[in-house]
Structure 1
Amino acid sequence: MGIMGFLRERMGIILVVLIGFALFAFVAGEVITYSRGFLSGDRDELGEVAGEKISYADFSDKLKQNVEMMQQQYGQSASTPQLTDFAQEQTWNQEVSRVILKKEIEKVGIVVGTDETKAMISGKNPSQQIAQYFTDPKTGQLNRASLDQVLSRVQTAKAGDPMIEQWDKLVASVIEGKKAEKYFAMVHNGLYVNSLDAKDDYEAKNKLAKFTYAILPYSSIADNKVNVTDDDYQNYYDEHKGLFKSNQELRSIDYVVFNAAPSKADSAAIKAQMDKLVDGLKSSTNDSLFVQVNAETKAPLVYQRKGQLEPKLDSIMFNAANGFVYGPYVSGNSYKIAKLVDSRVGPDSVKARHILLNPATSGGIDKAMAKADSLKKAIQGGKSFADLAKTFSEDKQSAEKGGELGTFGRGAMIPVFEDAVFNGKAGDFKIVSSQYGVHLIEIESQKGSSKVVKVAVVDKPVDASGKTQSAAYSKAQSFLGSVNKDNFAQQAKQSGMQIRKAADFTGVASSMPGLENARELVKWAYKSDKGDLVDQVYTSGDQYVVAQLTQVKPKGVLSLDAVKEQIKPQVINEVKAKQLTEKLQSASNGASSVEQVAQKAGTKAVPVENIVFANPVIPGLSIEYKVIGSVFGAPLKKLSKPVEGQSGVYVYSVDSFLNPAPLTNTVREREQISQTMLQRADNQIFDALKDKANVKDFRAKFL
């Protein structure tokens, strides 16, 4: 308890913020480099950043702590593939950030002095991290007494005490955070916005354009009427090659699934089991034991108020007599039966305090119970409960408050504790034993009054039988035996199987669209070559999967073949644009207005106004950067040449520009631009540093 409990509870958080709160402004995406020759090198090398290796062992420890912290944060008892993926990315990004920033900070010579460190730990205004850990959640203020107590314990701890190591890690994270803060402050101080920048930005937001346009949309030509050549693809690719740079290796598969979900027969078998349990639950004299023996979910029996039960039970049990049994009924993926064990009227909330004794240090449970009884008699004889709590209670957090736990409702405490305080009355002393130790409890007050029920629920999930699973697996195995690299699609069609696609997944992914538990399949994909079939039938939940690797996108600029399908719509539009441009050019011959061009081209002239350069949207269409940019650089009353936009090909004529009032004070405008620059700066700085750091990521080989 005490300092050790405090640090243990927060150790995951301490590691998450190791590089300080400044880093969280720019957690960036991963950069993956895959090397087939990796295994011949350092087997513990998970990655490399700017020449510094990241070891698998260190990463695993931090990942485990991050996963545990996130499970606590999101209230999950077990990790999910999605949470694991998120934790992996967070941990990796933190490691990359830590190394990059450390090297930059060392390069520019940023330090945090002894006095500065002391001020951040115990000064008048401690660091944000220290304040976070020692803030009283009820008052929102720093608990200076708690902080001082921890500092005192650290100073008096003996050498080798794990508490010292844990505290040092917290202090190190505070120092690293301060260094990062100084680094970014230094960079921010180099950003500058002058008056000309402010004037340009002001006009871009406030100068209004009024113009008339005509458009021939790309949709006016059917895609199947367009002949797209290899040269068209090559030209588009060459002009936009910068858009096809991949910062990580990606892979794609085609796959089919053979469903091993529970059959109707499986469901009927589970229901039959539950039917047999109904009589047993009705006649049970120990409902808690019956639940523990027969239920899949072995939840303790506690009193619950209306609204706390699942909807199917809530309306039934509050109007039933004790002993009533309901079910079997379906709830989610399970059959359930429920028995109303008891109902009563009880308080809605309780205010209580306690003294927690540790049986291990008291000589056993019996002696701890006897000690609690002695303390109770001492309190009844006039001793202060608060003073005894501060002296004897193992729950140091409440002990500092005289054992006070505040006011709480049902469901806030463990069952044995809750039963004691809600079933007693104000002024009672209760002694109970739990997994935390022996509690001496005083019920200070009770508020409210409402009906509560205690319900025993027995559940059985509907799982696929061995017969169902075997049948699905046999079909998958038969399909795998019938396919090769060249006939996957054909065999799937003949078998009546739908081909699904999982595109552009990374080497550390643990799930895919439609496949939650796909880690082993991902590992196979990153060991295989394009066109390869799986080496075995893979399992994902209640599905058996047969897959083919269809694409490998390496890190760097992707080839035309890799992006050909992706750019197909844009290439088709470019071919259409040539045809539509010729049509508008022909209609423009001899025309002096947009209206005349529109009439000859078979479209309409559309007037628009109040368009600004900073928001290049044509109402009813889309963002049109090229068109609006052209408008703001065009002369008045002159018919434009055709302009290729996002939605089609345009011609326009500018009717007028309305200039805003002159900008007399640039201070406010410069501040707004500076704020925008600062918001983007950290991301841009980090991206540039990461590119330069030559990040190598071998996680696909380990995770």
Structure 2
Amino acid sequence: MGVMTFLRNRMGIILVVLIGFALFAFIASEVVQYGRSFMSGDQTTIGEIGGEKIPYDEFNKRLDQNSKQYQQQFGQNLTPQLTAYVQNITWNQFLTQTLLTKEESKLGITVGNDESYNMTHGANLDPEVARYFTNQQTGQVDRDQLNRFLASIKSLPASDPTRAQWSLFLTGRIEAKRSERYLSLVRNGLYVNSLDAKDDYENKNKLANFKYIALPFSGVADNKVNPTESDYQAYYDEHKAQFKIPNELRSFEYVTFNAAPSKEDSLAVKEQADKLAADFKAAKSDSDFVQINAIDVANKAELKFQKKGQLEPKLDSVMFTVSKGFVYGPYLSNGSYKVSKLVDVQTGPDSVKASHILLNPATEGGLPKTQAKADSIKKLLVAGKSFADLAKMYSVDKGSADKGGSLGTFGRGAMVPVFEDAAFNGKPGEIKIVTSQFGVHIIKIEALKGSAKVVKVATVDRPLLASSKTQSLAFGKAQSFLSNANGDNFNAEAKKEGLVIKTATDVDGLAMQTPGLDNAREVVKWAFKADKNAVSDKAFTVGTQYVIPHLTQVKPAGTLSLDLVKAQIKPAVINQVKAKMLAEKMDAALNGASSIDQAAQKAGVQVVPLQNIVFANPVLPGVAQENKLVGSVFGSQPNKLSKTIKGDQGVYAFVVDGFTNPPAMTSAVRQREQIQQALIQRSESQVFDALKDKGNVKDYRAKFL
């Protein structure tokens, strides 16, 4: 089998387990964030883990490898969002490698040479290796196929990059095995006893019936409450742990100057498209015309027949009702004026059932030799040889080869154009040879299903871009604003110019976008280099806008000061003050009251009865979650009027009517298993978080990426 086929198919695994247990990083609910001001560190270190420096050039080399592997695996270019995703994968690889390797070394966790050999040669194959070489029909590992692959790897010269990729794959599998053993030790240390199971069972099944009265915070207008500094300080001290952030955050405001195409620009491009439409109608060779005149690379791609519903809506409603040669447009679509021509129309099958044998020119001595081999295989097939046997023997597409070459039944759009044209324009039993970017295919058409009208449409385009005049006008306004604005008068200048000030709050140093800015990386990088109250010395180009930012706030990593969270906690502090005010009223209503009804009458509120409330779901129907109230209910005796309870939505008093105990738990085994499974799921991320905290991770990526 082809070595590169295996490695290409395994690239997703290589990407994740390339360095140890990188999967571990993705189990966590959040991507690792950096913990100190990004201005720390030197100019060549992108991060530190437990005092061990990560050189930027080493990180960048790995990042480049991962980016190429991602593109190869998924066949798409990296958008800014995907770039950030791969950057985080790469960082997590370094992080997990260092943190877990240290812990594994302390515990003496190893994978010996004999065990490593056994992963690819022995009775206990690595699961990923075994899965790939398993015969789909028998469910057993095809040892002959595995041995041929291993022999082909061994025969390659030491300098061959394929050998390096195979070594990289094995390294990842070995590291994954070590890390799994470490995790197993953690999981085996988790224990749930019968008392834990009993408490959990009762918390979910014991029912409480009670009545309560409430004085809601909403009954007091916010403008009637004036919190003091001591109120803010008291709330801050009580909730200080909530204000610890793992990474530095910055906030900025900004103004934009629109450089999008004007009406005049649109008319000018429309005129170009009108001329293009006239020329397209007169074109003798549609394919040549598209190759010369299309701007979008996608429009230059090989044309294929499409059925109704596969064209974009504007074309889909037209091209199935007109004759061959019809030209539609110009029409505006995805930021371009487009002109489309109906190149061909026919009635064809909806789907095809087919098989193929794929030959790789790279391993067959070039394309001519590969085509000659394909002709020989075709002759064998025509002479009556089994397609399934020859597919297993020769095809480098092992996914289909294991099924006798079968690709199953597929519709239009599932295959590359040249393959699709051959398959959909043949007859059952016909054998064809075509060449695509994947190699040389020997195709056997087994069945044609359904019938529908299909069309082949060619498109040329002219992007709707702003003219230099439009851009210069917007840029000039931006420069004029820059010459007058500074940190002290930014808002005043914006107001004078009639500009809308937008805000980006608590931005992370690695953010690729912010609200209102889809590709804000350069703006964010500026924000993390600037001093507080600084205004950028240039206008950033973001899409069709010129953006001028003003840095308004810096929140360093660690526990935020009261000043930095004061605006954030203001609503909660106001409610805390309301709680004091309303508690006095509730205390007065409870004083001397012998029943909940008397207290309600004195407080001027209604008694609310509730039934079948459980401790594990402390929600008041129609109100909100009230942990303190429900917790107090389950800690009280029936028929006893409570004291005032300060909750999250108001202050309360209650009386318990009674409890309904659940049936006795017949067996704690299942309950213990459920709790233990939940603990195990949480442990994987929590262990990693603990290692990060202990590992003194410092992330300086913001100044490089």
1:351 equivalent in alignment to 2:350: no
In structure 2, the partner of 1:182 is 181
Question: What corresponds to 2:56 in structure 1?
Answer: 56
Partner of 1:206: 205
Residue of structure 2 in register with 1:85 after alignment: 84
Per-residue Cα deviation, 1:654-702 (whole angstroms, up to 9, x for no partner): 2222223333432222222222222222222222221111001010121
- Structure 2 equivalent of residue 613 of structure 1: 615
Q: Deviations along 1:594-638, whole A, 9 cap, x unmatched?
A: 222222222221111211222111111111111111222223322
Matched, 1:550 2:549: no
- In the other structure, the counterpart of 2:415 is 413
Shift of 1:406: 5.1
Q: Pick closer, same or farther for the CA change 1:178–1:335 going to 2, 3 Å.
A: same
Partners of 2:255 and 2:141 in 1: how far apart?
Answer: 57
Question: Residue in 2 aligned with 1:161?
Answer: 160
Partner of 1:689: 691
Range 548-557 or range 110-119, more displaced: 110-119
Q: Secondary structure at the match of 2:251?
A: strand
- AA in 2 matched with 1:237: Y
Check 1:429–1:252 CA distance in 2 against 1; reply closer, same or farther (3 A cut): same
Farther-moved stretch of structure 1 (238-247 vs 392-401): 392-401
Which AA in structure 1 matches 2:632?
S
Q: Contact conserved, 1:3 with 1:153, CA < 8 A, in 2?
A: yes
Q: Which amino acid aligns with 2:626?
A: E
Moved more, 227-236 or 323-332: 323-332
Question: Are 1:560 and 2:562 counterparts?
Answer: yes
CA apart distance, 1:11? 3.4
Q: Offset at 1:15?
A: 3.2
Contact 1:246 1:558 in 2 (8 A): yes
Out of 511, 514, 537, the residue aligned to residue 513 of structure 2 is 511
Q: Partner amino acid for 1:55?
A: P
- Corresponding position of 2:149: 150
| Aligned partners of 2:357 and 2:394 also within 8 Å | no
Are residues 1:282 and 2:277 paired? no
What CA distance in whole angstroms lies between the structure 2 residues aligned with 1:209 and 1:403? 64
Equivalent in the alignment of 1:45:
45
Note the C-alpha offset of 1:427.
4.8
- In structure 2, the residue matched to 1:228 is 227
Are the counterparts in 1 of residues 435 and 441 from structure 2 also a CA contact under 8 Å? Answer: yes
Task: Specify whether residues 672 and 426 from structure 1 end up closer, same or farther in structure 2 by C-alpha distance, changes over 3 A only.
Answer: closer
Structural mapping, 1:105-504, within 5 Å: 105-123=104-122, 126-134=125-133, 144-297=143-296, 298-347=300-349, 348-354=351-357, 356=359, 358=361, 407-436=409-438, 441=443, 443-504=445-506
Inter-CA distance 664–7: structure 2 relative to 1 (3 Å threshold): closer
Of the structure 1 ranges 388-397 and 171-180, higher mean CA displacement relative to structure 2 is found in: 388-397
CA deviation profile, 1:378-415 (whole Å, cap 9, x unmatched): 76567777777778777677677776655443323332
Query: What one-letter code is carried by the residue in structure 2 that aligns with 1:290?
Result: F
Q: Give the stretch that moved more between structures: 334-343 or 424-433.
A: 424-433
2:207 corresponds to which letter in structure 1? L
**TM-score, normalising length from structure 1?**
0.91
Q: 1:295 to 1:136 in 2, by over 3 A?
A: farther
Measure how far apart 1:575 and its partner are: 1.1
- Render the CA deviation track for 1:133-182: whole Å, top value 9, x for unaligned: 44678998755554333222234444343333222222222221121121
What is the CA–CA distance in structure 1 between the aligned matches of 2:156 and 2:372, rounded to whole Å? 32
Change (3 A) 1:640 1:443: closer
Please give the alpha-carbon distance, in whole angstroms, between the structure 2 residues aligned to 1:208 and 1:275.
74
Do the aligned residues in 1 keep the contact of 2:39 with 2:703 (CA within 8 Å)? Answer: no
- 1:354–1:405 contact (8 Å) kept in structure 2: no
**Matched residue, 2:593:** 591
Counterpart-to-counterpart distance in 2, 1:227 and 1:29 = 40
Which AA in structure 1 matches 2:15? L
Against the structure 1 CA distance between its residues 72 and 257, is the aligned structure 2 distance closer, same or farther, given a 3 Å change threshold? farther
**Aligned positions of 1:567-586 closer than 5 A:** 567-586=569-588
Partner of 2:704: 702
User: Per the alignment, in what secondary structure is the counterpart of residue 592 of structure 2?
Assistant: coil
Larger deviation, residues 64-73 vs 640-649:
64-73
Partners of 2:38 and 2:528 within 8 A in 1: no
Could you tell me how far 1:564 is from its partner in structure 2? 1.0
For 1:372 and 1:208, the matched residues in 2 are separated by: 74
Post-superposition Cα deviations, 1:354-397, rounded to whole Å, max 9, x if no partner, equal: 464639965775x7666655665676567777777778777677
Cα deviation 1:88-110 (Å, max 9, x = unaligned)? 22332332122111111110111
Structure 1 Cα separation of the partners of residues 64 and 12 of structure 2: 9
Aligned partner (choices 642, 645, 657) of residue 643 of structure 1: 645
Partner letter of residue 353 of structure 1?
Answer: H
More deviation, 572-581/388-397:
388-397
> SS in structure 2 opposite 1:562?
helix
Taking the aligned partners of 1:406 and 1:294, their CA distance within structure 2 comes to 38
Cα separation, 2, equivalents of 1:272 and 1:577 = 68
SS in 1 for 2:549: strand
CA separation of 1:134/1:535 partners in 2, compared to 1, >3 Å: closer, same or farther?
farther
- Cα 1:66–1:665 change in 2 (3 A) is same
Identity %: 56
Query: Which shifted more, 392-401 or 297-306?
Result: 392-401
CA shift at 1:538, angstroms?
0.9
Deviation at 1:4, TM superposition (A): 2.7
Displacement, 1:527? 0.8
**Cα-to-partner distance string for 1:503-561 (whole Å, 9 max, x where unaligned):** 11211112111111111111111111211111211111111111111111111111111
What's the TM-score once normalised by structure 2's chain length?
A: 0.91
Instruction: Specify whether residues 563 and 137 from structure 1 end up closer, same or farther in structure 2 by C-alpha distance, changes over 3 A only.
Output: farther
Alpha-carbon distance in structure 1 between the residues aligned to 2:260 and 2:111: 60
Preserved contact between residue 21 and residue 96 of structure 2 (Cα < 8 Å): no
Distance in 2 between residues matched to 1:157 and 1:166, nearest whole Å: 12
Q: Letter of the aligned partner of 1:87 in structure 2? A: V
Unaligned 5+ residue runs, structure 1?
Answer: none
Secondary structure (helix, strand or coil) at the match of 2:611 reads strand
CA contact (8 A) 1:212 1:654 kept: yes
Shift of 1:203: 2.0
User: Aligned partners of 2:137, 2:393: CA distance in 1, in Å?
Assistant: 23
| 1:115, distance to aligned residue in structure 2 (A) | 4.3
Question: What amino acid maps onto 1:586 in structure 2?
Answer: A
**Range with greater deviation from structure 2 (570-579 or 310-319):** 310-319
The answer to whether the 8 A contact 2:5-2:397 is kept is: no
Cα separation, 1, equivalents of 2:28 and 2:703: 27
In 2, Cα distance between the equivalents of 1:667 and 1:359? Answer: 59
Distance, in Å, in 2 between the alignment partners of 1:433 and 1:181 is: 44
Contact 2:5-2:396 at 8 Å conserved across structures: no
Q: How many residues align?
A: 699
Q: Is the 8 A contact 1:342 1:455 kept in 2?
A: yes
Q: Check conservation: 1:354, 1:404, Cα contact below 8 A.
A: no
Name the aligned partner's letter for residue 356 of structure 2.
Answer: R
Change (3 A) 1:618 1:474: same
Q: Aligned with 2:6: secondary structure?
A: helix
Amino acid of the residue matched to residue 53 of structure 1? K
User: Shift of residue 593 of structure 1?
Assistant: 2.1
Partner of 2:13: 13
Q: CA RMSD in A?
A: 3.0
Provide the C-alpha distance between the structure 2 equivalents of 1:396 and 1:642, rounded to a whole number of angstroms: 72
SS at match of 1:104: helix
Q: C-alpha separation between the residues in 2 aligned to 1:50 and 1:309? A: 55
Query: Hey, what's the Cα distance between the residues in 2 that align with 1:331 and 1:137?
Result: 45
The secondary structure found in structure 2 opposite 1:317 is: coil
